[in-house]
């Protein structure tokens, strides 16, 4: 189909769209309604997101500039032009974050009896305690490094916090530049001061940043010398791992070597310094690391604001969102084997295995509202313990460090079951963790594979093969999120538990494809990238276009993390112009312009940013009143559609389809925690009439507290 050209008028730069998303995260840190420690959390998340953005996206653009690559982005910008725009766009946002965070620490914290003090603000008893703490717990592990003709400028590791100082030898009247790395892994960023040293009896917490302690005890590090100047700095380096398409045996060793290099880091892409850094130190830092002015960021207040996340562990419930505890899916309440093992025989009469429950009906689990532990983990746990289970196959992308699923897979292998785990070693910033899991699984006898050469395996699937009445039946889970117990408490995700034969056969063939023994080109029901997902989604959109052209109601609702793919965007524009009503719920990057005259007047875009990270992907097509619904692991991005292994499954159970449609409609209501995208690409926070606050995630929490609520949808 011909359609509008993808250019600056029809496509938003993806880097700027990402910054817009992170700006919405920061807005949650600024809103009055957000509890204080949650404000700190969102500010920390903003900074952590930004670190990754510089390490990967900015680093890539800088590499293109340095390599003389002039290929333009979809919106027509050169790599150099994008870097200039990124800096221009970011500067005011960073100033807002620094100003607000400084206010939180210096004013708002104190109103709630939390004190993050400067060294000069300590009382005498606190100073004595802190100085003693420095002597015993910090001083021995510090290593001051001199820079002079015989000592070249030291390597500054990625994301490390450092002190730079000018030290004067008064006898020789000689100045010396020194660098001290602030210990970041062995010691907390904020040192808690004992309560008995507080001046105020109502004080909840008093602490001091570790760099403040070091800076005010420099005389111990340089006896007989004077400290003339000092300041703090931090560097961000290129941390993207470039890996060739190599065999699995070589992939692990190549990754391990790549991770060693990443810890040191590649080229510096950003230098952050305290705003009051003396010129002499600034010049030495820029010269020593060859930093251009456009890569220098002067920060007001604390550096490394991602480490503020430490403060959110304070036991102060009144300064946090009301604690949320998910519930067990109603259909699974009597199928908890781990709970049953703790009961005596008299209380076990109501127990039913999870497999008998799934045989009756497909189940949709919705995290964090439904507990991951009593659904997905219980599914894998029972598979490991069940004598009738012959085999387990799973994909593992990002796994928590204390994973019960890993334990279950190991136990299953030790019991003689056939267990296969596909561990995606190239899950960015989780590579090291996954390497350790892969080794542990292999040692236990699990068949570990690393996926298809040239593709990253991003799909979230688990397949159980169970012998029943002399035949094999497949049970499975297809999810939108990772098999990670930690993130399941903070990410919204769906999972389908089912034993539908055709989907089960599709998964058997997909796993054969992943282990390298099949070149599957078609599937019965699953949409699988990079084979059928793109063409399948395009076919579904085109069908709605045909309905609209024939005068029939046509509608698409799609929820995802990011919409970036130019071809899908172009097709959505064509659908809009044909009369298809399109509602998009996109948390992060959206490169499409909605409601633009003569282009996308039938497209609306909503972004939800709340206490939970909206991570589920849902695709709903009206299909002339007989709606087709899909969930899966893929966004509408080139990498998901063409360069990853992804699986998107149809939802065929009518009650589950009703539940999903109700949730989509709820997301599209006038909620306080949503932003509406404008025709120029900007976002406006939703304004509720009569100032009545409505939060969609709070509404969903209430929805899942009682099973009757779901039945009445």
Query: Known catalytic residues?
Result: 458
Q: How far is CA 364 from CA 396, 463, 601, 652, in A?
A: 20, 16, 34, 11
Q: Which residues are CB-neighbours of 118 under 8 A, at least 6 positions away?
A: 208, 212
Residue showing tokens 């290129």: 238
Residue with tokens 């849902």: 618
Which DSSP letter does residue 517 get? S
Element (H, E) at 220: helix 218-221
Euclidean distance between CA atoms 676 and 608, whole angstroms: 9
How far are the Cα atoms of 83, 123, 239, 244, 458 from residue 68, in angstroms, in the given order? 14, 57, 20, 22, 32
Buried b (16+ CB within 10 A) or exposed e, 522-546: ebeebbbbbbbbbebbeebbebbbe
Q: Hey, how many other C-beta atoms are within 10 angstroms of the C-beta on 361?
A: 13
Contact 86/58 with Cβ under 8 angstroms? yes
**What is the rounded CA–CA span in Å between residue 401 and residue 541?**
40
- The CA distances from residue 689 to 8, 28, 34, 672, 674, in Å, are 35, 20, 20, 10, 14
Helix (H, G, I), strand (E, B) or coil at 539: helix
Token pair listed for 497: 């538990």
Which uninterrupted H or E stretch holds 630? strand 628-632
Burial 252-269 (b: 16+ CB within 10 A, else e): bebbeebeeebeebbebb
**Matching residue, tokens 């090291």:** 432
The span from the CA of 141 to the CA of 125, in Å, is: 24
- Tell which residue, 326, 377, 375, 403, has the closest CA to residue 612: 326
State the sign of the Cα–Cα–Cα–Cα dihedral 116, 122, 123, 125.
positive
**The pair of three-digit structure tokens given for residue 521, joined into one six-digit string:** 């080109």
Facing residues of 612 across strands?
Answer: none
705 vs 700: CA distance, rounded Å: 9
Segments in 393-550 forming alpha helices (H): 404-414, 431-443, 501-514, 533-549
Query: Read out DSSP for 182-196?
Result: PP-SSS-SEEEPPGG
Per the CB < 8 A criterion, the answer to whether 110 and 202 are in contact is no
Rounded to the nearest 5°, which phi and psi values hold at 126?
-65, -40
Between CA 119 and CA 127 the distance in angstroms is: 8
Calculate the CA 555 to chain-centre distance. 30
Q: In whole angstroms, give the CA distance from residue 420 to residue 134.
A: 50
């Amino acid at each position: 189909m011909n359609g509008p050209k993808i250019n600056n008028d029809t496509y938003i730069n993806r880097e700027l769209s990402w910054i817009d998303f992170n700006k919405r995260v920061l807005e949650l840190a600024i809103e009055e309604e957000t509890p204080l420690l949650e404000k700190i959390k969102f500010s920390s998340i903003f900074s952590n997101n930004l670190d990754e953005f510089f390490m990967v996206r900015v680093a890539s653009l800088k590499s293109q500039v340095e390599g003389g690559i002039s290929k333009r982005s979809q919106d027509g910008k050169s790599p150099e032009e994008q870097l200039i725009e990124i800096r221009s766009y970011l500067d005011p946002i960073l100033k807002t974050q620094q100003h607000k965070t400084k206010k939180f620490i210096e004013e708002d914290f104190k109103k709630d009896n939390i004190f993050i003090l400067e060294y000069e603000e300590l009382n005498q008893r606190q100073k004595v305690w802190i100085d003693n703490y420095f002597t015993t717990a910090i001083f021995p592990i510090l290593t001051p490094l001199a820079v002079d003709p015989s000592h070249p400028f030291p390597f500054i590791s990625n994301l490390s916090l450092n002190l730079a100082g000018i030290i004067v030898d008064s006898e020789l009247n000689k100045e010396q530049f020194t660098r001290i790395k602030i210990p970041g892994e062995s010691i907390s960023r904020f040192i808690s001061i004992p309560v008995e040293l507080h001046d105020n009896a109502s004080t909840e917490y008093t602490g001091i940043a570790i760099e403040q302690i070091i800076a005010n005890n420099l005389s111990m590090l340089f006896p007989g010398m004077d400290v003339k100047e000092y300041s703090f700095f931090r560097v961000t380096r290129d941390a993207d791992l470039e890996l060739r398409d190599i065999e699995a045996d070589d992939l692990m060793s190549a990754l391990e070597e790549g991770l060693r290099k990443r810890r040191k880091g590649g080229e510096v892409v950003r230098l952050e310094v305290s705003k009051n850094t003396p010129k002499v130190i600034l010049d030495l830092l820029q010269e020593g690391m060859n930093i251009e002015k456009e890569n220098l960021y002067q920060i007001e207040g604390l550096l490394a604001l991602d480490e503020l996340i430490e403060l959110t562990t304070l036991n102060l419930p009144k300064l946090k969102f009301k604690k949320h505890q998910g519930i067990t899916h109603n259909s699974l309440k009597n199928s908890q084997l781990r709970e049953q093992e703790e009961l005596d025989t008299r209380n076990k009469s109501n127990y039913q295995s999870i497999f008998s429950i799934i045989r009756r009906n497909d189940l949709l689990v919705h995290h964090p509202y439904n507990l991951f532990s009593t659904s997905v983990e219980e599914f894998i746990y029972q598979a490991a313990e069940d004598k009738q289970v012959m085999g387990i196959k799973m994909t593992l992308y990002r796994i928590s460090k204390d994973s019960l699923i890993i334990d279950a897979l190991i136990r299953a292998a030790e019991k003689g079951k056939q267990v296969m785990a596909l561990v995606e070693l190239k899950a960015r910033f989780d590579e090291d963790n996954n390497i350790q899991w892969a080794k542990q699984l292999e040692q236990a006898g699990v068949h570990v594979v690393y996926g298809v050469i040239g593709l990253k395996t991003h799909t979230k699937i688990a397949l159980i093969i169970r012998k029943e009445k002399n035949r094999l039946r497949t049970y499975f889970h297809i999810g939108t999120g990772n098999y990670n117990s930690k993130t399941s408490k903070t990410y919204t995700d769906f999972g389908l538990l089912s034993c539908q034969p055709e989907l089960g056969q599709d998964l058997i063939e997909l796993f054969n494809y992943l282990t390298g023994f099949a070149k599957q080109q078609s599937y019965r029901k699953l949409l699988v990238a990079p084979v059928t997902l793109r063409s399948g989604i395009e076919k579904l959109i085109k069908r709605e276009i045909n309905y609209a052209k024939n005068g029939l109601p046509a509608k698409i609702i799609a929820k995802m993390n990011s919409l970036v793919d130019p071809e899908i965007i172009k097709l959505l524009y064509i659908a809009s112009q044909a009369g298809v009503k399109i509602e998009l719920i996109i948390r992060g990057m959206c490169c499409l312009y909605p409601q633009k005259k003569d282009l996308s007047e039938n497209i609306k875009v909503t972004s939800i940013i709340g206490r939970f990270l909206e991570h589920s992907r849902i695709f709903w097509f009206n299909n002339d009143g007989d709606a087709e619904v899909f969930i899966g692991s893929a966004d509408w991005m080139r990498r998901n559609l063409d360069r990853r292994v992804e699986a998107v499954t149809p939802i065929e159970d009518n009650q589950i389809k009703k539940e999903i449609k109700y949730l989509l409609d709820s997301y599209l209501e006038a909620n306080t925690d949503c932003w509406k995208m404008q025709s120029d690409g900007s976002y406006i926070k939703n304004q509720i009439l009569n100032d009545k606050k409505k939060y969609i995630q709070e509404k969903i929490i209430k929805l899942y507290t009682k099973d009757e609520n779901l039945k009445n949808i």
